[in-house]
Structure 1
Amino acid sequence: MASKKKEVQLQTVINNQNLWNEMLLNKGLTVIDVYQAWCGPCKAVQTLFRKLKNELAEDELLHFAVAEADNILTLQPFRDKCEPVFLFCVNGKIISMVRGANAPLINKTIIEIIEDERKIEAGIMVRPELQELVFMEMKDSNACAESRESLEDKYTVAIIKPDAVADGRVEEVKQKIKKAGFVIAAEAERTLSEEQVRDFYNRKAEQPDFEEFVKFMLSGPSHILIISQGKRETTDIPHWTELMDFEPTNESEQEGHGQEPSSLQEALASQQMATLCDIEDSVENASRQLAFFFPEFSKAKKTGLKVEKTLALIRPDLLKKRRDSVLRRIREDGFTIAMEKEIVLTKEQAHSFYKEHENEDFFPVLLEHMTSGPTLALALVRENAVQRWRDLLGPKVVENAKEEKPESLRAQFAVENVAINQLHGSSSLNEAKKELNFFFPCQHTLAIIKPDALPIHKEKILQTVHDSGFIISQMKETHLTREMATQFYKAHEGKEFLNQLVDYMSEGPSMVMILSKNNAVEDWRKLMGPTDPEEAKRISPNSLRAQLATSILKNAVHGSSNKKHAWESIAFLFGDIDLENQSQMQDQFAE
């Protein structure tokens, strides 16, 4: 209970428009974690926020809040998105945004804003006229119908290249763009795949050094920006060719006479931003990039309904007799099965899940039924999923379902001589969140792309990770010292291969990652395959080690063996990072 209390004190809870409006009156900076009701606030940055609160809170200029997008009209553009979003509010305006739990970027943004606020508070700096961030959600029905073409006219995509990201020059580029009067509407740090680089930069394909350029763009994460002209009179984002061609003609132009630059190219050209940042000059390419990096920007809401997740259970008797028929009916009604798990519940698990019914007469029968064999748990996704699934199910009592709604699933899939209905659905969004956490708790594991595989197979491995449904919560390239490698593999102390393993792991940089998803530890181990690549080829030919490993020692990738090992390894390589976004029910399903 103590940790729960700390969290409430750290972040103000905003769950309606009135509280949002009150938050805008805060003095200084408010950092807002925007979340969905079904998945909850992001816990991965809690440790960072506590640290910053302790270090920077003496003058009460730093505040933290969590805001539920589902209940706040201003946050409508962020509904139905599972990626964490952090907004930065200063003087009643949202001036910056970070997508994803990018702790270094969040930390840097907070420190820079607080430094400016302290200068303003002390009277040594005048508050600049900041452009408020533009959310791509239209405020009226006519605007919602705005065409894709007009959207493309107003927004373009800029890619800050890997070397500039590595050198910490992202903020420098962003400040130049902002000072020129343009608005950064969204941003994200992404590692491009080879296919994406070749697609997005196909206009350069005929250049003699294109292959080298592709390798360069794959060398590390890029920083992606969506730029709009904001409130400027000009209606065009300058093309990159203009940025490269612009040269200040004399000293007075270089100095600018203290005036704001009249264009983005004027702001960037003298700083040689062409070597740091690529601004798309093709509407077609900009549209493609926009759709890939920020799909919510390039698609309008076609209905007023929200995409939701809900839990469905197919109980043991029905699962045994008509599994395929039920699943077919679910898909025919437009549901996507995002996750599924077949599980035999213990008596304790069943009692915990149905605790609200423990005083009902039918509770002992329900427990006996739910523990009699496998149950299939499904995470169903579609618009208005909770209500739609409940409507399909029909009344809870089987006889009532047959009489009042014979077309309902509980009527059609009733099992003869079984009084318990055979299908379960969550009663509300909040219940769906709790129940999904019960059956599908998020889990984290450590993954490493080893030194010899990193320069050759990095992109293939990262693409396989994404395609397999993992979220890369944290990623960094690091060169393990012999001391670090020895400590990391201390479980093998005394084994004859340890020295050879330590030498290998410290011979060059590795890519270390925190991978997150349901059942992450076991799923990553399956994706890696057996330690011996020959055995992997025989029993798991599609695994990474079967395809990429060259020996038992040089077997391309590493993964944690169990949950405890995962947490210890993550702490060793990433330090005090808070990834505690699992429900209290998680351990009930640990193997």
Structure 2
Amino acid sequence: DERFALIAEWFDPQAAIVRRYQLLYHTADNTVEMFDLKNRRSFLRRTTVDNLKLADLFIGNTVNVLSRQLTFIDYGDDFTKRRLGQRTERTCALVKPAAFAKAGAILEAAQAAGLSVANLRMGRLDRSEALEFYREHEGKSFLPQLLGSITSGPILAIELMGPDAVQAWRSLIGPTDPARARQEAPTSLRARFGQDATNNAVHGSDSEASAARELGFFFPASGPARVANTSGGGEGCTCGLVKPHAVASGCLGQILSAIAEAGFSINAMAMFRLDKANAEEFLEVYKGVVAEYSSMVAELTSGPCVVLEIGGPGDVYKEFREFCGPADPEIGRHLRPRTLRARFGKDKVQNAVHCTDLPEDTQLEVQYFFEILDK
């Protein structure tokens, strides 16, 4: 039985203050203890928390413990820092405009290599933002081509985490020039999806210091994101949401690939961590209507979810609902086995994806995430 200690913060909405705790996690039986640091007393006796796993214990992560959204801000002792610090190195990955259509397959490859997605955000860089991001290349002859490429369409910025993440990701993407990559590392991402040395599909930080700077550029520690989301306001689109259990189980890349292969476009995408109030507000239409409402709220607050603005030809609302399939994945596996919920869902609550139920709510749901929560 190993015991890991972390310092966590929780915003108490009733008192409007941030409370700080020491959380102790026991690996043998998946139990948790919590101590109130200010009042120096026990807050939670040792109890089982099924949704909390060892992989969730990293600085900056937000987890749900008995309906409280806790954010880890520091290690609680040297043992925990030694054991978990190495395991949770982070790096910045970019899917470039020319390869954006393959974002799902690229995420699949990252997850298959043992890297987890800690954050992601779809955006579109203007020239000044691109210059700031690539400031280390200022004065170099290839910079104009690089700026033209990175500003030509949407990008997907991803925070990847795992053991030796910087080097692991760089090994996965391969040499800068896809032609060289196809000779030296034919299974690498640049060999598979790159066109030339400029449009080479993906970017990866070259050091821990670069990773910290680049992650700060796309995912600032406080305040709104500097790079605006790409939502068009939801008109003519619908909302899709990859639920926390599907993100945690490594299905995100496969789900995005399936959506693209079905002919839908992704107009905006971002990772969100919902607190209970946000989840209840978003799911309010189901309150008193479906028996699973409380469980649906608990699932949506159990970890990060990924929200999508889905576009496409025809009646996108109707076609995407049909593609998601029946709310009960078991029914879907019998009647419509190729739908998303049939393939990736577990039960009526953990059914992989949410889709808008009422046509008049499509734009409202998109705006709730990309115009309200995102700002």
Q: Sort the TM-score into its range (normalised by shorter chain).
A: 0.3 to 0.5
TM-score for the superposition, normalised by structure 1: 0.30
Report 1 or 2 for greater relative contact order, CA contacts < 8 Å, sequence distance ≥ 6.
Answer: 2
Larger Cα Rg: Structure 1 or Structure 2?
1
More helix by share: 1
TM-score for the superposition, normalised by structure 2: 0.44
More strand by share: 2
